[in-house]
Amino acid sequence: MSKTVLVLVETVDDYLPLLERAGYRLIRAPSPQMRADAIARHGDEIDAVLTRGPLGLSAAEIATLTKLRIICVIGAGYEQVDLVAAAARGIIVTNGAGANAGPVADHAMALLLALLRDIPRADASTRRGEWNRVISPSVSGKRLGIIGLGAVGQAIARRASQGFDMNVSYHSRTPRAEVPYTWYDSPLHLADAVDILVVATPGGNGTRHLVDAAVLEALGAEGYLVNIARASVVDTDALVGALRGGVIAGAALDVFDDEPAVPDALKAQGNTVLTPHVAGQSPEAARDTVALVLRNLQAFFAGEPVLTPVRA
């Protein structure tokens, strides 16, 4: 008997046939209204849900989905999935840890290069017929700090250290003995020791505003911030104040608090580079993400351990 998967995501459509060819029946509901309608109409049919961190799945929705047995989250973050409600029902939650680490790390480095070398403004002025040869900081040899050293953080570290001869340090809850990078016990101490701070940790209450005014102050007037993780990790008001006041030199952001809305205060700053939450999006990443979802589903419904479980 085929299983029914409620698909709430909107970014992997080209690869969803991987699930259909494996025998899964898909109910696509990528908008809020379609989601509400699908849950109301098919609540007693849905065996699995495919979502992503910001879209999540609430306790009320979990209660309505009476047959639900597994929630698969694409990407590493799962901050809006009610893990407590899922655990209370014995529902398994998986994530996409590592599936899109390469593209996210590539984008982080692209943002870093664009920010330090002032690429967007140089391109815009050249297109206007100007010839402004502004001197910009070098990237090679800089001190890079990474908050969060999971699959994405490690991919960024490799690119920075091996490709740009950067000295890499990191902060995580505990040091990782297997990596050759320097561990700091807090974001504050890490920021004080580096030139560039990259946010690569999952969102959620445990990481909310890890980067606050004090951390930005420690990063300093010649320091740069790059965030390809979750906007909630950075205090946006503190960041705007730091950018306006010259507390830090600049920031590159792929994530925002109220997407797709981007604060005018960030758009108005000349020392920002902004992209619309696209770091993890590439054809390769979408394919690998759906393939991992399929492997988790197949393992679960075969009574085997899932590959990437999330614990409450």
Query: Is 277 among the residues known to form the active site?
Result: yes
Catalytic, 311? Answer no
Catalytic, out of 277, 295, 304, 311: 277
SS (H, E, C) the chain: CCCEEEECCCCCHHHCHHHHHCCCEEEECCCHHHHHHHHHHHCCCCCEEEEECCCCECHHHHHHCCCCCEEEEECCCCCCECHHHHHHHCCEEECCCCCCHHHHHHHHHHHHHHHHCCHHHHHHHHHCCCCCCCCCCCCCCCEEEEECCCHHHHHHHHHHHHHHCCEEEEECCCCCCCCCCEEECCHHHHHHHCCEEEECCCCCHHHCCCECHHHHHHHCCCCEEEECCCHHHECHHHHHHHHHHCCCCEEEECCCCECCECCHHHHCCCCEEECCCCCCCCHHHHHHHHHHHHHHHHHHHCCCCCCCECCC
Q: Which of 35, 159, 171, 230 is catalytic?
A: 230
Residue 259 annotated as catalytic: yes
Per the residue annotation, which of 259, 287, 304, 311 is the catalytic one? 259
Q: Which residues are catalytic?
A: 230, 259, 277
